[in-house]
Amino acid sequence: MTQKQILVVEDEEDIQELLRYNLTKEGYQVNCVGSGEAGLQEARKMFPDLLILDLMLPEMNGLEVCRQLKSDSKTHPIPIIMLTAKGEESDIVLGLEMGADDYVTKPFSIQVFLSRVRAVLRRGQETESTESDILNFADLQIHLGKHEVRVKEELVKLTYTEFMILEFLSRRPGWVFTRGQIVDAVRGDGYAITDRAVDFQIVGLRKKLGAVSKYIETVRGVGYRFADA
């Protein structure tokens, strides 16, 4: 099996070496750089299987690196785990909205961190696409294998998290899910995220879907569902 390539963008040498040692021990091929600009250039060159991205970086901050990678169709599929000392809810929400796939705050347990890495890489594995990978709802088409969404045949760019929420809800039309169930399904059990962050993702998803946002219904006091008609 080919080694998964992980790019670590972290300016603190101690943390950089800690991550390099433990990720290499897990069998991953690890490259490390110490600035946002270098991280952006390296990501565009190597197209890693996963990017570990610090938020506070010299030259260019992690949010800007994330924004540029996610706005480029070539680098958009690269999964990103943000690693930062900032733990306020607003920072978590902003990181997710920029397109990050997970968010780990310092200080952190290395075992928990490695578990997050495995989970993101596992979610990113794509299988060969078949016709059954496509969900059609009138003007809305969801291609599960390609992680593509089209509204009236026009491609809609979603973040990884927005797509996963849409996929989770649309696979079970009419079923009502709590915010906690959505978090567990999209990111795995025990992900530290608030109800507000889920709501924020839904708001962004609805805005991008436009007219077909009607499929995502709010069930007051419970959560959300995908309309079955």
Handedness of CA 166, 170, 173, 175 (dihedral sign): negative
> What's the domain range around 85?
5-124
**Domain CATH code at residue 170:** 1.10.10.10
48 and 70 both lie in a single domain: yes
CA-to-CA dists, residue 158 to 20, 112, 154, 166, angstroms: 31, 27, 13, 10
Same domain, 72 and 161: no
| Structural domain count, the chain | 2
Give CA separation, 80 vs 77, 94, 180, 216, in Å: 9, 14, 22, 26
**pLDDT confidence of residue 127:** 39
Which of these three, 71, 97, 124, is where a domain ends? 124
Query: Does one domain contain both 101 and 36?
Result: yes
Task: Please identify, among 124, 149, 182, the residue that sits at the C-terminal boundary of a domain.
Answer: 124
Spatial separation of the C-alpha atoms in residues 137 and 151, rounded to whole Å:
10
**Nearest in space to 123 (alpha carbons), one of 156, 81, 179:** 81
Tens digits of pLDDT across the chain (229 residues): 568 999 999 999 999 999 999 999 999 999 999 999 999 999 999 999 999 999 889 989 998 999 899 888 788 889 999 988 766 667 777 777 777 888 888 888 899 899 989 988 887 664 334 445 788 898 999 988 778 899 998 999 888 888 889 999 998 888 999 988 888 777 654 455 566 788 988 999 999 999 999 999 999 888 999 997 5
Q: Are residues 115 and 17 in the same domain?
A: yes
Same domain, 99 and 182: no
Q: Are residues 31 and 61 in the same domain?
A: yes
Can you give the pTM of this predicted structure? Answer: 0.59
**Which DSSP helix (H) or strand (E) runs through 38?**
helix 36-46
Backbone angles phi, psi at 180, to 5 degrees: -60, -40
Task: Please indicate, yes or no, whether residues 100 and 176 belong to a single structural domain of this protein.
Answer: no
Identify which of 171, 122, 184, 120 has the alpha carbon closest to the alpha carbon of residue 142.
Answer: 171
Q: 101 and 86 in one domain?
A: yes
Q: Are residues 104 and 136 in the same domain?
A: no
pLDDT at 130: 44
- Indicate whether 117 and 13 sit together in one domain: yes
Where among 124, 154, 189 does a domain terminate? 124
Shared-domain flag, residues 152 and 107: no
Same domain (yes/no): 169, 144: yes
